Amino acid sequence: MLAASSGTALAASTFYGIVVHVSTSNIKVQDSRTKQTLSFAILPKFDQVFSADGKTTYQMKAIKAGQYVGIIYDQKALGARHADKIYLLNNANERIGSQ
């Protein structure tokens, strides 16, 4: 039973959109196609900000409102939706892992 629940905690989802708000404790992103807006908690000392190809890292201060991002998140570990990794994208059609 414990193994099943720890395997579920590893399951993550991806959300793409434009940053509406960013602070030291959360980021709010809106999908421009569906107009769905989601907020994600950011843990203290969060350092998982990458370029679209995952090869370059950035500090949180590089994220600004109006930027396209891809967020890998889950809500199992904390019980609330939280960002595991944030990818800075060039446009709405770009996807994580693209060259």
| Structural domains of the chain, count | 1
Three-state secondary-structure class, residue 66:
coil
What CATH number is associated with residue 29?
A: 2.40.50.140
Q: Is the pLDDT of residue 5 over 70?
A: no
pTM for the whole structure: 0.81
Structural domain contains residue 96: no
Structural domain contains residue 28: yes
Other C-beta atoms lying within 10 Å of the C-beta of residue 63: 16
* Boundaries of domain holding 32: 2-89
List the one residue out of 13, 11, 45, 44 whose CA is nearest residue 29: 13
Could you read off the pLDDT of 11-58 as tens digits, one per residue? 579 999 999 999 989 999 999 899 999 999 998 888 999 998 889 999
